Amino acid sequence: MLALPQEVLARVFDHVDKKNLPSIRFVCSDFEMAGNPRFAKEFLTRRRHTMSLESISTMHEIVSHSYFGPFVR
């Protein structure tokens, strides 16, 4: 499966259940890279935060991330 191009592997990740997506990304770096677009779309596009230091700090980390930041709306 790792011999597949990243684009094809990413399409495979389109069929993974949302609840399994975070854990399958930990299998290896190739899976992480292939799963990042779907992960960002599912978990980072729309987020709710509270007015607490921890929540604001988490939001800051996400929006400052070079890959995941642009996904946040």
State the pLDDT at residue 59: 85
State the pLDDT at residue 62: 86
Domain count, the chain: 1
Determine if the pTM surpasses 0.75.
no
C-alpha angle 61/63/64, rounded to 5°? Answer: 65
State the pLDDT at residue 56: 86
- The range of the structural domain enclosing residue 43 comes to 6-71
CB 42 within 8 Å of CB 21: yes
In a domain, 1, yes or no: no
Task: Give the chain's residues under pLDDT 70.
Answer: none
Reading the block at residue 37, the tokens are: 């677009």
In a domain, 58, yes or no: yes
